[in-house]
Amino acid sequence: MCTGRVDMEFVLRAFLNGMDGVFIGGCRLNECNYITHGNYHALNMVHLLRKIMEHIGLNPERLRIEFMSSAEGNLFAEDVNDFVKTVKESGPLGKGEGIDENELKSRLEAVTKLVPYIKLAKKEKLALRLDKVEDYNELYTTDEIARLFDEVISYYIDPDKCQACGICLRKCPVEAIVGDKNQIHVIDQEKCIKCGTCFEACPPRFGAVKKIVAEPVPPPIPEEARIIARKGA
């Protein structure tokens, strides 16, 4: 499988399943077998995720990416052995960082849930292909990652403005909006990937979808209170 197909969620899932470290091995840069240069994408993703790991208290050395050709078996063995040594020295995931098992799971699940949002928020940077591998070390800063999590965007449908037109419901790519004819629509925050499609789709004359930054989302109104009473009905 091309390293370009390795998603952040795959790595986080490995940690959630108890892996103490994740090693990604790819083709040498500029020697892509598929002419897609997915290894550059993987390198970029790894540097972003290592910064995120650092932000939630995990040792970023638990995630590594190395490049080699299929003929370099000795190099592969050396890299893997060195990585295994590093992971063993770090100790079990969480325990080595002094994080409680339940707290570790909570932090990893929170980041996993935000993966679609993170990829959208960092879409332009993730698409960059830098000339030198060393340049990726400075691509994402600690302050930048802190802001990414502190200023998370959410979307909320104002029940006083929703006209139950159904446009946002039909446009939502993950079916996170519930509602029906003459029924105020509600965004399921557990399913929402924060893509902003509903915000863009809502007719300006209604302006029912609100963008909320770094603030809690108001609770949804009770289902029995969602019926819209039309004039003359």
**Where are the chain's structural domains?**
3-150, 153-225
pLDDT digits (tens, 9 = 90+) for 62-109: 999 999 988 899 999 999 999 999 999 999 999 999 999 999 999 999
What is the spatial distance between Cα 4 and Cα 65, in angstroms, rounded to a whole number?
Answer: 12
Nearest one of 213, 168, 204 to 187, comparing CA atoms = 168
Q: How far apart are CA 12 and CA 99, in angstroms?
A: 16
Average pLDDT on 41-55 reads: 97
pLDDT at 35: 77
Q: Which residue has the tokens 């789709």?
A: 201
Q: Which CATH number fits domain 153-225: 3.30.70.20, 3.30.420.40, 3.90.226.10, 3.40.1670.10?
A: 3.30.70.20
- Helix, strand or coil for residue 141? coil
* pLDDT above 80: residue 135: yes
Is it the case that residue 48 has pLDDT exceeding 80? Answer: yes
Q: Amino acid identity, residue 76? A: F
Which one-letter amino acid corresponds to residue 103? E
The answer to whether the CB of 179 falls within 8 A of the CB of 186 is yes
Residues shown for the chain: 233
Cα angle vertex 90, ends 65, 11, to 5°? Answer: 40
Question: Which of 153, 216, 222 shows the shortest CA–CA distance to 186?
Answer: 222
CB contact at 8 A, 139 and 47: yes
Q: What is the mean pLDDT of residues 109-127?
A: 94
Task: Determine the average pLDDT of the residues in 28-43.
Answer: 86
User: Six-digit token pair at 122?
Assistant: 């960092």
Q: What is the CA radius of gyration of the chain?
A: 22
Residue that has been written with the tokens 């790519």 in this structure: 173
**Spatial contact of 183 and 227, defined as CB atoms under 8 Å apart:** yes
24 vs 37: CA distance, rounded Å? 15
Average pLDDT over residues 24-48: 89
Write down the mean pLDDT value for the chain.
94
